[in-house]
């Protein structure tokens, strides 16, 4: 199965690049701010399946640049989905828990009402609506709290800060499931293959997040424990860490439908986190070796 992936340097895109028969498109190859260019890229490569792992993910910046975020996260995925529907090939689109209002304590079901709190969530919702409206074989895969050894994410931020400080204040009233980019990538490949076999009959919206659900503060403590760093983590409420874009208090996602339809279980983020830290350790060691004088 020849898979075309929108995205090259993002966390999930980097993991998808590790699979055979995957072609990753960078911003140079396909400008996400130009829906027509995205559609033309699919027609040019004529793949067996398409995965959209690219997005405008700077949540706070979206507040000031909602128009461009809506094109990148909304109109371009819709254009991709329409071409895939025309060519009768499956389309997998990665979305976010930010389409919900983040209220309550029960995990959000894929069918629950959406009500984004911020511009990023609104832009991603436009994309979901466009993908579904295209009428092809598709999967909208909502996920949360993506972590990996690539790019910018919470794990790497905590590790960097712990090199300079032995005490940190971390938000404890936001709850969600940390999700390894590698797990998302594997799910996307599995979903694309099954969509190719069964078509629109299994199309729909699904959730994937790591288990068990935790707070950011609890995740921070797990990171420092694995890394064997003595860092005192103080729990603070979201109100003590204001950001331009409002964050959901609950990012809990019910992932049962994904298991029922595609046979994909929730990944254990604790094992994934151990793998990520091991990969970062190897990368750091390699870089240190490269810098040694001859």
Quickly state the pLDDT bin for 282 (edges 50, 70, 90): confident
Residues sharing a CB contact under 8 Å with residue 172, sequence separation 6 or more, in sequence order? 215, 216, 217, 218, 235, 236, 237
Section 164-184 average pLDDT:
97
Question: Are 97 and 248 spatial neighbours (Cβ–Cβ below 8 Å)?
Answer: yes
48-69 residue pLDDT tens: 999 999 999 999 999 999 999 9
Among positive and negative, which fits the CA dihedral 111, 117, 121, 126?
positive
Q: Check residue 293 and give its pLDDT.
A: 54
What is the average pLDDT score of the chain? Answer: 95
Q: Has residue 192 got a pLDDT over 70? A: yes
Question: Are 122 and 66 spatial neighbours (Cβ–Cβ below 8 Å)?
Answer: yes
Of residues 294 and 153, the one with the higher pLDDT is 153
Q: Check residue 284 and give its pLDDT.
A: 65
Q: Hey, what are 7's tokens?
A: 């995205």
Task: Tell me how far apart the alpha carbons of residues 63 and 244 are, in angstroms, rounded to a whole number.
Answer: 7
Domains of the chain: 3-279 (3.40.50.720)
DSSP 202: G
Q: Check residue 286 and give its pLDDT.
A: 58
Q: Has residue 30 got a pLDDT over 90? A: yes
Q: Has residue 166 got a pLDDT over 60? A: yes
Task: Tell me how far apart the alpha carbons of residues 42 and 174 are, in angstroms, rounded to a whole number.
Answer: 38
Section 120-142 average pLDDT:
97
Percentage with pLDDT > 90 across the chain:
94
Q: Check residue 146 and give its pLDDT.
A: 97
Q: Has residue 285 got a pLDDT over 90? A: no
Q: Has residue 136 got a pLDDT over 80? A: yes
Instruction: Write down the catalytic residue from 120, 138, 241, 262.
Output: 120
Section 201-210 average pLDDT:
97
The residue among 125, 41, 111 whose CA lies nearest residue 83 is 41
90-123 residue pLDDT tens: 999 999 999 999 999 999 999 999 999 999 999 9
Q: Has residue 185 got a pLDDT over 60? A: yes
Quickly state the pLDDT bin for 144 (edges 50, 70, 90): very high
Q: Has residue 168 got a pLDDT over 60? A: yes
Active site residue 262: no
Quickly state the pLDDT bin for 280 (edges 50, 70, 90): very high
Quickly state the pLDDT bin for 240 (edges 50, 70, 90): very high
């Amino acid at each position: 199965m020849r898979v075309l992936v929108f995205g090259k340097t993002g966390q999930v895109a980097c993991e998808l690049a590790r699979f055979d028969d995957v072609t990753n498109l960078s911003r140079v190859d396909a400008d996400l701010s130009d829906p027509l260019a995205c559609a033309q890229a699919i027609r040019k490569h004529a793949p067996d399946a398409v995965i959209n792992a690219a997005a405008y993910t700077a949540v706070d910046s979206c507040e000031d640049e909602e128009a461009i975020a809506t094109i990148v996260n909304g109109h371009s995925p819709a254009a991709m989905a329409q071409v895939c529907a025309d060519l009768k090939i499956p389309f997998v689109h990665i979305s976010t828990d930010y389409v919900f209002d983040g209220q309550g304590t029960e995990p959000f079901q894929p069918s629950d009402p959406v009500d984004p709190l911020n511009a990023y969530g609104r832009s991603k919702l436009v994309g979901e609506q466009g993908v579904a409206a295209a009428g092809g074989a598709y999967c909208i895969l909502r996920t949360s709290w993506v972590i990996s050894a690539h790019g910018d994410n919470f794990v790497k931020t905590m590790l960097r800060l712990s090199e300079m400080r032995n005490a940190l204040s971390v938000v404890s009233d936001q709850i969600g499931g940390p999700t390894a980019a590698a797990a998302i990538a594997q799910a996307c490949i599995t979903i694309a293959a099954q969509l190719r076999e069964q078509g629109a009959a299994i199309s729909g919206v699904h959730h994937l997040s790591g288990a068990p659900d935790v707070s950011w503060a609890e995740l921070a403590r797990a990171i420092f424990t694995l890394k064997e760093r003595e860092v005192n983590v103080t729990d603070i409420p979201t109100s003590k860490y204001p950001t331009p874009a409002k964050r959901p208090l609950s990012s809990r996602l019910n992932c049962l439908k994904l298991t029922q339809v595609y046979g994909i279980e929730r990944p254990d983020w604790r094992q994934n986190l151990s793998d990520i830290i091991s990969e970062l350790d190897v990368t750091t060691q390699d870089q240190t070796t490269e810098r040694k004088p001859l």
